Amino acid sequence: LGRSGDVLLAISTSGNSDNVVAAIEAAHARKLHVIALTGRDGGRMAEVLDSGDVEIRVPSDVTARIQEVHLLVIHCLCDLIDEQLFGGI
């Protein structure tokens, strides 16, 4: 579904979700950019990211805390996208 230049937002509290790691690898094969939201030590997701990708890691071992911060980051990304597309209307 993704095309070159698109962005994949990959989210995993552990960074070790097999399906998310596979999605990142598929995104790279299609020349997509990746923004990865991870927790703990970044897991395998951190290992498969390219130099042009962005990882936002929550350095916590508490799953609920990681998810809370991920939600905040997602809201911030939505605000930034809204500002870019619609000028913050």
* pLDDT tens-place values along the chain, 89 residues long: 899 999 999 999 999 999 999 999 999 999 999 999 999 999 999 999 999 999 999 999 999 999 999 999 999 999 999 999 999 66
CA distance 59 to 51: 20
Using CA atoms of 17, 30, 81, 45 in order, give the dihedral in degrees to the nearest 10. 20
- Summarised one tens digit per residue, pLDDT across range 27-40 is 999 999 999 999 99
Residues 37/73, Cβ–Cβ less than 8 Å:
yes
Nearest alpha carbon to residue 41 among 20, 66, 24, 18: 66
Which is the CATH superfamily of the domain at 7-86?
Glucose-6-phosphate isomerase like protein; domain 1 (3.40.50.10490)
